[in-house]
Chain A
Amino acid sequence: MDLRVPEQEKAFRDEVRTFLEESLTPEIREAGRMVTSVFAPVKEAMAWQKILNDKGWAAPHWPKEYGGTGWSVTQRAIFAEELVRAETPPLIPMGLHMCGPCLIGCGTEEQQQEYLPKILSGEHFWCQGYSEPGAGSDLASLKTFAEKDGDDYILNGTKIWTTYAHYANKMFALVRTNRDGKPQQGITFLLLDMDLPGITIEPIVGLDEVAEQCQVFFDNVRVPQRNRVGAENDGWTVAKYLLTFERGGQEYAPGLNVMLEKIRLMADKQQTIHGPLSSDPLWQHKLAALEADVLALEFTEMRIKSALSAGKDPGALSSMTKILGTELLQKVTELRIETLGAQSVIWQPQALVPGEDQPVIGPEYALTAMPHYLNSRACSIYGGSNEVQRGIIAKAVLGL
């Protein structure tokens, strides 16, 4: 057991830093600073993905033969950390982190050749058609039906909480192809174009007044059967494979550390009658409690990476990091609004839209605090709610 970073990896860190320094445009940096969600502003995030892809760095977590970088686990961790430090907007995950790995694991060679390069380039913008109005935590109860008709399926039904469906040109979806037997057994995984006749998209406005989610309706939508991933009625296996990426593929600690550092700087500027808030023992206690939790999470995440690099299955640790990462993010955003007091009550969402040039009222560092607090409430709901994750730990780990 050893925490020291080898010399050659220090050089790698410098290489990443230099690249970031040289290639980040002011627009992309601004979008990164203004992020209040795991889903960054589309235009800037896609511009950033293009720059990374030109360098060959858009998908370090993919195997090299499919367009990955071939980096070691440590190098990938350094890269992820540097992206967070430079406050780059996070890349939109549905293609690079969800559909891509899923096709690499479960897709045909033809599907891989057709889709993977366009995921990397950003030509295809994917959305995830999983949840339905009646199927959230209980995803397997989904009802959108795909009826076989010649070489096609005909889709009817609706999907909800489909992030960025209004920007997407592709969707990967779970649909029902058999209503008999256990609900999990009649599900099929399909890829489809968002401009097909019969698809309508209705954006849903969130608490932060941003339309991030959508409801998507299918009215006799014709999808070729060759767009199926995996076998018919075996989509649940594909979905489970993908969900392990959605839940475990993300690292929370680096971003949380940066947020905590910034909160400390904000607290330096807030004057109490006894001096800066950052010197108030009660406030220090709250910050320290979060720092301790984040340090623990950082090492839990490293244990997962270490297991993965040794070819072992980290198992339910990924459910654990999803719970910890999202709930710590929520607590960190909570400490930030508490640190800012009434300054976080000022509501100016237009000033967060990149390129709007809206003058900021109050300290600029306070601008993202409330929208981020509100938006982060979604993190314990999506990607398998934290209740579902706790259920997985109880069942799969504790054998209850």
Chain B
Amino acid sequence: MNFQLSEEQQMLADSAQRFVRDHSDVEKHRQNKALMPLDTSTWQQFAELGWLAVPFEETHGGLGMGPLETMVLLQALGEGVIMAPYIATVVLGGGFLRHASTEQQAKTIPALIEGRLQLAFAVEEYERVFSLENTALKGEVKGGDVVLDGTKACVMNGDQADQLIVLARTAGQPGDREGLSLYLVDANADGVERTPHRTVDGRQGAEIRFNQVTVSDAARIGELHQGHGIARTVLLEGLLALSAESVGSLSVLLNDTVEYSKTRKQFGLPIGKFQVLQFRMADMFIAMEQTRSLLMAATMKWVEGHDDAEKAVHAMKAQLGRAGRKISQEAIQIHGGMGMTDELNVGHLVKRVTAADGLFGNADLHLMAMAQTA
């Protein structure tokens, strides 16, 4: 057993922490109150730092790293208001590309690593409580093609993506695990109608309507009707990444709250001297460390292929929702009025953690999934 970071992992953490120190700027971030184009200079720096290459094989120009390194990187980035669409493009998008055909990989992975390709996973649908099995968007198989028809909701980075990974129902009914297929679709293809929007966490996404979009069978990732397995694998890695980023944010929410309570005076004392607040901050600390432990449990079990790895990932996502709620709400309450403004890191990180619970199934859903996972 070894919980120490390797030299390589430590370098990754250091460089990400340095990046946050130099580039996380809440004052600049809060000026963005409208849809913005992709911050290409930040994305190019990610490419130059090698971060876009993290999860890819060395034969593709990648660094041959995995979820452990992604965890280390995102935990550090999560400590700041860095909004680059790393999870959408590299973790989720890149995750699917690792399962794509050799031709698809050759066309996409080098471009992604160089920072020239944006991706998005189109999975959520309106009025459908999240689960992969609940997918309804229709994919009608016609000869060698598939015709996509329906709408995907809140596609993170869907506004910037060049290629979309679309989960479609090619057979069966919502609820069936069978009959799901994955397609790599040009985001600007005929019949793809995107309505970009901001998301509460300071990022962006899109509603994407597929109006009878014909996609060649060569664009399929994985077997026809058997997309669930790949989708689940990539989704679970996405959940680990989302959780890692939020753990970074939670640690800042805790630290900033504790620091504030040491300087903010009321009734002649720093408010941190009041036992009622001390106990609450002690509980925030406990919730924070429990979340960090679950993140490590889930990530390490997943990487090593333990039998209970999936269960641990569900536990992690549920903990992110529950501890995230608690720590966020206490951070605002203890900051008082200042916590309600968009002037501090606190507000922006609270929004990030709140969004993370809302995406890909909330705490209740993942507890239920955990209960039902063998």
Residues of chain A whose beta carbon lies under 8 Å from any beta carbon of chain B? 131, 134-138, 141, 160-161, 204-207, 209, 213, 269-274, 277, 282-283, 286, 330, 334, 337-338, 340-348, 361-363, 370, 373-374, 377-378, 380-382, 385-387
- Contacting residues, chain B, for A283 (C-beta < 8 A): 364
Question: By the criterion CB–CB under 8 Å, are B130 and A273 in contact?
Answer: no
* A362, B347: Cβ atoms closer than 8 Å: no
Please tell me if the beta carbons of B342 and A205 are within 8 angstroms of each other in the complex.
yes
Residue of B nearest to A275 (CB): B175
Chain B residues with CB under 8 Å of A382's CB are 337
5 CB contacts below 8 A, A to B, read A273-B133, A346-B153, A361-B197, A377-B333, A386-B333
Give the top 3 A-B pairs by smallest Cβ distance, nearest first.
A138-B266, A273-B175, A342-B154
* Complex: A378 Cα to B195 Cα, angstroms: 32
Cβ contact within 8 Å between A347 and B342? no
Q: How far is the CB of B352 from chain A (nearest CB, A)?
A: 11
Bound-state CA distance A348–B205 (Å) is 11
Q: CB distance A377 to B329 under 8 Å?
A: yes
Q: How far is B202's CA from A347's CA once the two chains are assembled, in angstroms?
A: 9
Check A209 against B200 for contact (C-beta < 8 Å).
no
CB of B199 within 8 A of CB of A345, answer: yes
Q: Are A205 and B154 in contact (CB under 8 A)?
A: no
A290 to chain B, nearest CB (A): 14
Chain B contact-residue range equals 35 or more
Q: Complex Cα distance A337/B321, Å?
A: 12
Partner of B276, one of A136, A286, A362, A387: A387
CB-CB under 8 A from A344, the residues of chain B are 200, 358
> Which of A270, A271, A342 makes the CB contact (< 8 A) with B359?
A342
| Best-buried of A141, A204, A207 by chain B (most CB within 10 Å) | A207
Annotate B129-141 by CB proximity to A: 1 below 8 A, 0 otherwise.
1110110000000
Does the CB pair A136–B362 fall under 8 Å?
no
The binding surface of chain B is classed by DSSP as mixed
Residues of A within 8 A of B333 (CB): 377, 380-381, 385-386
Taking CB atoms, residues of chain A closer than 8 Å to B361 are 341
Contact A205 B341 (CB under 8 A): yes
Residues from chain B with Cβ under 8 Å of A378 in the complex: 337, 340
Chain B residues with Cβ under 8 A from A209's Cβ? 33, 342
Instruction: Count chain A CB atoms within 10 A of each CB in B133, B175, B267, B342 and give the residue with the most.
Output: B342
Q: Which residues of chain A are near B359, meaning CB under 8 Å?
A: 341-342, 345
For the complex formed, measure the closest distance between the CB of B128 and the CB atoms of chain A, giving whole angstroms: 5
Q: CB-CB < 8 A to A342: which residues of B?
A: 124, 130, 153-154, 358-360
The CB with the most chain A CB atoms within 10 A, among B126, B127, B329, B355, is that of B127
CB-CB under 8 A from A274, the residues of chain B are: 175
> Nearest B residue to A370 by beta-carbon distance?
B200
Q: A134-B265, A205-B341, A205-B342 are in contact. Are A373 and B174 (CB under 8 A)?
A: no
Q: B199, B277, B329, B364: which contacts A338 (Cβ < 8 A)? A: B364
Tell me the smallest distance from the CB of A181 to a CB of chain B, in Å. 15
A138 to B124 alpha-carbon distance, docked (Å): 47
Give B361's nearest chain A residue, CB to CB.
Answer: A341
Q: Are A270 and B207 in contact (CB under 8 A)?
A: no
Contact B201–A345 (Cβ < 8 Å): yes
Q: Knowing that A135-B266, A283-B364 are A-B contacts, what are 7 other residue pairs whose CB atoms are under 8 Å apart, sorted by A's residue number?
A: A282-B364, A340-B358, A342-B154, A345-B358, A361-B207, A377-B333, A378-B337
Task: Give the residue name and chain of the B residue nearest to A373 (CB).
Answer: B354
In the complex formed, the residue of A with least CB distance to B266 is A138
Shortest beta-carbon distance, B313 to chain A, in Å?
A: 18
CA–CA, A163 and B342, complex, Å: 16
In the complex, A206→B339 CA distance in Å?
9
Q: Say whether A347 contacts B337, CB under 8 Å.
A: no
Interface residue B336 (Cβ < 8 Å from any Cβ of A): yes
Min CB–CB distance A198 → chain B (angstroms)? 24
Complex Cα gap A330–B329 (Å): 10
Query: A136-B266, A362-B207 given as contacts; is B129 within 8 A of A207 (CB)?
Result: no
Determine if B342 and A343 form an interchain contact, defined as CB atoms under 8 angstroms apart: no
Enumerate chain B residues within 8 angstroms of A380, measured Cβ to Cβ: 333
Expressed in whole angstroms, the Cα–Cα distance for A370 and B333 within the complex equals 18
Q: What string of 1s and 0s marks CB contacts (under 8 Å) between B2-26 and chain A?
A: 0000000000000000000000000
**Residues from chain B with Cβ under 8 Å of A277 in the complex:** 129
Chain B: which residue is nearest A207 at the CB level?
B347
B370 smallest CB distance to A (angstroms) = 13
Contacts A205-B341, A207-B340, A209-B33 given; does A271 touch B201 at CB 8 Å: no
> Across the interface, do A377 and B276 meet the contact criterion of CB distance under 8 Å?
no
- Given A136-B266, A207-B350, are A271 and B174 also a contact pair (CB < 8 Å)? yes
Return chain B residues, CB-CB under 8 Å to A135: 266
Q: Is the CB of A141 within 8 A of B337?
A: no
Among the listed B127, B174, B200, which residue makes an inter-chain contact with A345, where contact means beta carbons less than 8 Å apart? Answer: B200
Cβ of B197 and Cβ of A341 under 8 Å apart?
no
Contact of A346 (CB < 8 Å), options: B197, B276, B325, B336: B197
B368: interface (CB < 8 Å): yes
B198→A348 contact, CB < 8 A: yes
Per the bound structure, the CA–CA distance linking A136 and B336 in Å amounts to 8
Residues of A within 8 A of B127 (CB): 269-271, 343, 363
Which chain B residues lie closer than 8 Å to A137 at the CB level? 266-267, 271, 336
Most buried by B among A277, A334, A362: A362
Q: Contact: A282 with B368, CB < 8 Å?
A: yes
Q: Judge if B116 is at the interface, Cβ distance under 8 Å.
A: no
Distance A205 CA – B359 CA, assembled complex (angstroms): 26
| Residue of A205, A273, A345 with highest tally of chain B CB at under 10 A | A345
Judge whether B30 is part of the interface by a CB distance below 8 angstroms.
Answer: yes
B332 at the interface (CB under 8 A from A): yes
Residue B306 lies at the interface, judged by CB distance under 8 Å to chain A: no
Chain B, Cβ-Cβ closest to A267 = B129
Closest to A366 in B: B126
The chain A residue sitting closest to B264, CB to CB, is A136
List of B residues within 8 angstroms of A134 by Cβ: 265
B351 at the interface (CB under 8 A from A): yes
Instruction: Select which of B198, B266, B336, B350 is within 8 A of A347 by beta carbon.
Output: B198
Note all chain B residues with C-beta closer than 8 A to A348: 197-198
Residues of B within 8 A of A337 (CB): 354, 358
| Min CB–CB distance A182 → chain B (angstroms) | 13
Q: Which residue of chain A has the shortest Cβ distance to B364 in the bound complex?
A: A282
Question: Given the complex of chains A and B, what is the CA–CA distance between A342 and B325 in angstroms?
Answer: 16
Most buried by A among B133, B332, B355, B358: B358
